Amino acid sequence: MEDLARVRIVPNEVAADVVCTFLRAEGIRCAHRVSNIGAGSWDGVPNVGGAREVLVARPDLEAALAILAAVDEGDFVGESAPSSD
């Protein structure tokens, strides 16, 4: 992907996969990587997962934020959802 923008920080890889599933359902490519947010909060404790940041191409940022806002509000309807005609 080209120039990347962080769209969300989530607590672990599973949550990052869920976020990417919603974005990909709307045709937005995304990726996630380990974030250093909260670095040191697990000092001395083995941490397999940790916070991850979900990234999208900068031109897709506004659309990605709108999709995730709809998800947060419970209003997400993927492009393959049946119509209510």
Q: pLDDT by residue for the chain (85 residues), tens digit each?
A: 579 999 999 988 999 999 999 999 999 999 999 887 655 555 555 455 688 999 999 999 999 999 999 999 888 777 655 444 4
Domain residue extents for the chain = 4-73
Q: Could you confirm whether domain 4-73 is CATH 3.30.70?
A: yes
**What is the number of H-type helices and E-type strands within the chain?**
2, 3
- E strand spans, the chain: 4-10, 30-34, 52-57
* 58: Cβ contacts below 8 Å, ≥ 6 apart: 2, 3, 4, 5
| Entry pTM | 0.76
